Amino acid sequence: MQIPASFDYVRASTVDDAISLLERHGPESRVVAGGHSLLPMMKLRLARPEWLIDINELFELDFVLRDANTLRVGAMTRHATLLESPDIARLFPIIADAERVIADPTVRNRGTIGGSLCQADPAEDLSTVCKVLQAEAVVRGPGGERVLSMNDFHKGPYETAVAYNELLVEVRFPIRPHSGSAYEKVERRVGDWAVVAAGAAVSLASDGTIDDVTIGLTAVGMEGTVTEAETLLRGHRPGEELFVAAGRIAALASDPVADQRGPIDYKRHLADELTRRVLRRAAARAGEAQEG
Ligand SMILES: Cc1cc2nc3c(=O)[nH]c(=O)nc-3n(C[C@H](O)[C@H](O)[C@H](O)COP(=O)(O)OP(=O)(O)OC[C@H]3O[C@@H](n4cnc5c(N)ncnc54)[C@H](O)[C@@H]3O)c2cc1C
């Protein structure tokens, strides 16, 4: 099926306008951002909204802003903007690592961080990145704004805490001193969704030990981060033995399914190997941040 079911279309001019349109047209309405996930789902008739509310003119949601402790990213910020931002490359290299391997330039020019997080595809890269960076989601509706942790934001595959009459408006990333982060993905061909991917963020204390660490995996059935491996690493100096142990724990904690992208054993092997690699790189980047 390549033709969507019929629908009505309206363009929102402001965030408040979008929220009142959602309220007016009810649960059978959907906002469209980049459209790179929603439109294919409509063509396959996996989604059949009666009203499509276009939020592409909400330029107020297209920003990357930095203050002393936080980097704020608007929900309509495109993948390409994230990839090109010097602030992001310096403060959160994990985002640039992930963006480089998300789809292709055509998708990256239109697809948004808000659409990616709201789609909540289990193989989606930015959801893992946001969990690893302990980001917060700002959701606005008729009653005002709510700020949610990523664990509260994501309810499960393809399900978020955003109600039918709410919009994700912003993602907030806490800036931590002496920290580094990294993301690595194995894909079957360039631009494809992950077979498995892993992300890590490491913050160092002044004596060089690991003050804080988070590890996330993509496409292996994990909801949160790999807390057991994080506990193992905290308080120790970064080192290969610890990374190997953390990789093993991550592989055991993962819960992949066999599909056209590979069997379970192969995916567990990738979870192990990629966890080691991102920890190595995140720790090295944290070390550079501490020196420089
Ligand atoms: C060929 C191809 C390859 C891809 N490869 C990858 C990949 O490797 N890794 C990856 O992570 N992604 C990949 N993607 C997905 C891509 O990143 C999309 O851009 C993303 O999933 C959705 O963003 P969007 O802005 O297009 O959202 P849309 O398709 O417009 O919307 C997706 C969903 O989110 C809702 N929504 C959108 N914005 C908001 C908002 N602000 N508030 C509330 N709800 C909202 C919509 O109603 C819809 O339900 C790929 C897509 C394609 C087409």
Contacts of 89 (CB under 8 A, 6+ apart): 96
pLDDT in tens, 197-231: 999 999 999 999 999 999 999 999 988 899 999 99
- Mean pLDDT of the 140-155 span: 96
Enumerate the domain spans of the chain.
8-54, 59-174, 179-287
Number of other CB atoms surrounding residue 276 within 10 Å? 21
Quick one: which of 19, 25, 23, 20 has its CA closest to 7?
25
Report the separation in Å between the CA atom of 36 and the middle of ligand 1, taken as the mean of its atom positions. Answer: 5
The number of beta carbons lying within 10 Å of the beta carbon of residue 58 is: 23
Percentage of residues in the chain having pLDDT higher than 70: 100
Q: Per the structure block, which two tokens stand in for 228?
A: 């057991």
124 Cα to the center of ligand 1, angstroms? 9
User: How far is it, in rounded angstroms, from Cα 5 to Cα 28?
Assistant: 13
Name 160's bridge partners: 154
* Residues 123, 179: Cα–Cα separation, whole Å: 26
**What was the pLDDT predicted at 82?**
98
Q: Taking 90 as the threshold, does the pLDDT of residue 2 lie above it?
A: no
Q: What is the pLDDT of residues 220-267, one digit of tens each?
A: 998 889 999 999 999 999 999 999 999 999 999 999 999 999 999 999
Q: Are 283 and 182 in contact (CB under 8 A)?
A: no
| CA distance linking residue 200 with residue 275, whole number of Å | 8
Q: With a 6 A CB cut-off, is 85 part of the ligand 1 pocket? A: no
Q: Are 82 and 73 in contact (CB under 8 A)?
A: yes
Best residue for ligand 1 mutational test, from 119, 167, 185 (most atoms within 8 Å of Cβ): 119
**8-54 topology per CATH:** 3.30.43
| CA dist., res. 188 & res. 195, Å (int) | 7
List the beta bridge partners of residue 89.
none
Give the CATH number of domain 59-174.
Answer: 3.30.465.10
Q: pLDDT at residue 169 above 90?
A: yes
Question: Across-strand partners of 181?
Answer: 201
Helices (H) and strands (E) in the chain, counts: 12, 13
Q: Is 120 left (phi over 0), alpha (psi -120 to 50) or beta?
A: left
Range name among 51-55, 95-99, 156-160 with the lowest pLDDT average: 156-160
Residue-level pLDDT at 202: 98
Ligand 1 pocket test: pick from 9, 23, 25, 31 the residue with the most ligand atoms within 8 Å of its Cβ.
31
Whether 291 shows a pLDDT value over 90: the answer reads no
Place of tokens 């063509």: 43
Q: Is 119 in the pocket of ligand 1 (CB under 6 A)?
A: yes
210-218 vs 136-141, strand pairing mode: unpaired
CB of 107 closer than 6 angstroms to any ligand 1 atom: yes
Q: Quote the pLDDT of residue 223.
A: 84
Ligand 1 proximity of 128 Cβ (cutoff 6 Å): no
**Is residue 103 within 6 Å of ligand 1 at its C-beta?**
yes
How high is the pLDDT of residue 244?
Answer: 98
Ligand 1: which atom is nearest the Cα of residue 104? 3
Beta carbon of 32 within 6 Å of any ligand 1 atom: yes
Other beta carbons within 10 angstroms of residue 113's beta carbon come to: 29
Query: Is residue 185 lining ligand 1, measured as CB closer than 6 Å?
Result: no
Please, which residues bridge with residue 214 across strands? 201
Ligand 1 center to 115 CA (angstroms):
4
Distances (CA, A) of 256 to 123, 154, 196, 215, 259: 11, 18, 9, 16, 9
Q: What are phi and psi of 2, to 5 degrees?
A: -115, -5
The chain-wide mean pLDDT, for the chain, equals 96
Please check the confidence at residue 143 and state whether its pLDDT lies above 90.
Answer: yes
The atom number, within ligand 1, closest to the CA of 126 reads 11
CATH of domain 179-287: 3.30.390.50
Residue 212: is it exposed, middle or buried by C-beta count within 10 angstroms (0-12/13-18/19+)?
A: middle
For the cut 70, the answer to whether the pLDDT of residue 1 exceeds it is: no
